[in-house]
Amino acid sequence: MAKNQSNKLFESSLVKEALKQSFVKLNPRIMLRNPVMFTVEIGTIIMLIVCVWIYAGEKSQGSFAYNFTIFLILFVTVLFANFAEAIAEARGKAQANSLRKTREETPAKWIQPVGEIFTDEIKMVPSSQLKKDDVFLCETGDTIPMDGEIIEGIATIDESAITGESAPVIREAGGDKSSVTGGTKVLSDQIKVRVTTAPGESFLDKMIALVEGASRQKTPNEIALTILLACFTLIFLIVCVTLKPFSDYANTPITIAAFVSLYVCLIPTTIGGLLSAIGIAGMDRALRANVITKSGKAVETAGDLDTLLLDKTGTITIGNRKATNFYPANGINTKLFIETAVMSSLADETPEGKSIVELGKLNPSSFNTQNSTFIKFTAETRSSGMNMPDGTKVRKGAFDSIRNMVIRAGNAFPAETEQRVKTIASNGGTPLVVSLNNKALGVIELQDIIKPGIQERFERLRKMGVKTVMVTGDNPLTAKFIAEKAGVDDFIAEAKPEDKMNYIKKEQQGGKLVAMMGDGTNDAPALAQADVGVAMNSGTQAAKEAGNMVDLDNDPTKLIEIVEIGKQLLMTRGTLTTFSIANDVAKYFAIVPALFIVSIPALQALNIMHLKTAESAILSAVIFNAIIIPILIPLALRGVAYKPIGASALLRRNLLIYGMGGIIAPFIGIKLIDMLLGLFM
């Protein structure tokens, strides 16, 4: 889904919708939510009244053309600010429409209950009629009508409508991969699914509302910044008001247009106009990364994370252990050992068993296994193998299990094999001992395969200032080896659900923000406790409800993108605020000297731009103030580029670019506009 989205910032259809909304948002009740731009709208209305006043015969406020030009520029400034928010919302709505296609009305095979028992009677109903805890049947080719949890069966699911990935996935009852999403398609087999959400309350429905802006609440940081901007606005309002007695004292009449223009130029209109767009764009970028966030606060929090907890199996490692080495005991023929190891794995359909056959490089069909009895692995015996018709017994299994079998038969267990078992375990591997007729032949080494590139990704997180912690049920020796090999900063071995909780609480008590990634019901408490809980879309419903983010791609290292989006959001807001406030310096030097320079010649020292006239200076400043907003819209939507170079280096870099740039750019821009105006005035 998200991967197929266009990355064009200004698609014609989106621009048309945004232009329309720019005028709709002129409604004062809507503008009131943005105090800075609301006061600009009031200034625009005042200028309209002044224009009407001049048209009616007033002579003290300058020419009608000049005042009407000021009115038009202020009106355009408000429109530009509204456009910035509207284009961000339009992009969100386009994403929402893409999601909504997966939520179209779908026929559902509702299994009707009789009391607490479900009959086999199926009734076709629209998906909108399904309620929470209803059970429906899905067969090959069916579209899953609602979010739910598989209670019976296993099926191959096409989730491309949601994730954009064409590769099918397997979902089955009773595990951590039991959750299915409405709008996805069953490719094979059949499943019974229990509805876990009410109509209109699925994750996709919630996300649709969020990206459309309908339920997007301002985050604490956003509220704090809005208050700061409102305070700046009030301060500059007082500054402008106090200029009136100064002008009367200096016998320098100042027009209403000059007062309004000075006020609009000094207040932080740039960030005021772009603030909402930055927040909406952050949500949009998260969705484009295939992450459903329940709130904008979660995205922001991700930008300040200190610690990340993540599982080993399936996250850091591929998930299936792989045979890597054969170690025969002293005096045992290597060929015999390998043949016995392969024979013990012929009936083993697990990935580990298949990897032993693959490592042995022997043709399975060359073994005569006719009339042989295959022994499956059980938790009690902790071994598997084969009994042949001639009485030969082949076994492979856990060290203590095979050793006890060998000793009970009256045979000695090789000391070198026991030592090799300990060595393999200390190196993070899993040893499987092979026996023939109750005599130990040697040991097979299985290793967890670290995902390619995982070390580099953890190094990137480290540069971002995020500490990575691996959580595993393995023994401490194995856990330590895997942790070192994967490049994580810390690990929790032999972990139980409460261990995750305790670790998170400990970190939080130290003032740190913690993220947790998980997919199982046992992860739910930790996901709920963490500041940022990222649940896999393939995981259980409990996990998805506990987290405040859902990763549609089920990518355990997705947090890298989430952290970058969060940091990008915070940086964009901070840098554009810096730029906006820095702008005021140039505007001050443009307008104030021009107003008083005739009556107070000593102010000539402040007239560093040497603008042609007071009117030209004011027009140049308000024009620059207006056009800088649309110029910065692409930056607000894309976000400031984030590089993991450390907080201090980032601060220096952004202060240099956006702080100094915010001071220098207006001086150049206002001077150029003044020179252009000089051709017409």
Catalytic residues: 311
Alpha helix segments (H runs only) across 27-114: 28-31, 35-55, 64-100
- DSSP string spanning 484-511? HHHT-SEEE-S--HHHHHHHHHHHHHTT
DSSP 217: P
Helix (H, G, I), strand (E, B) or coil at 441: strand
Contact in structure between 3 and 164 (CB atoms under 8 Å): yes
Exposure of 175 in the CB half-sphere (CA atoms within 13 A): 7
Amino acid at 525: P
From first CA to last CA, the distance across the chain in angstroms is: 54
Q: Which residues contact 565 (CB under 8 A, 6 or more apart)?
A: 282, 285, 286, 289, 291, 299, 302, 303, 639
How many Å apart are CA 137 and CA 110, to the nearest integer?
Answer: 7
Tokens 């985050």, residue located:
219
Output the six-digit token pair for 549.
């983010």
Nearest by Cα to 312 from 420, 430, 423: 430
Nearest by Cα to 633 from 671, 570, 581, 576: 576
Cα angle 618, 621, 623 (rounded to 5 degrees) comes to: 105
Nearest by Cα to 205 from 149, 280, 127: 127
Distance of CA 350 to the CA centre of its chain: 34
Output the six-digit token pair for 615.
């009117």
Cα angle 134, 137, 142 (rounded to 5 degrees) comes to: 125
Q: Packing angle between helix 614-638 and helix 256-266, nearest 10 degrees?
A: 30
What 3 state SS string does 266-318 have? Answer: HCCHHHHHHHHHHHHHHHHHHHHCCEEECCHHHHHHHCCCCEEEEEHHHHHEC
Nearest by Cα to 467 from 490, 492, 500: 490
How many Å apart are CA 76 and CA 56, to the nearest integer?
Answer: 24
Contact in structure between 483 and 490 (CB atoms under 8 Å): yes
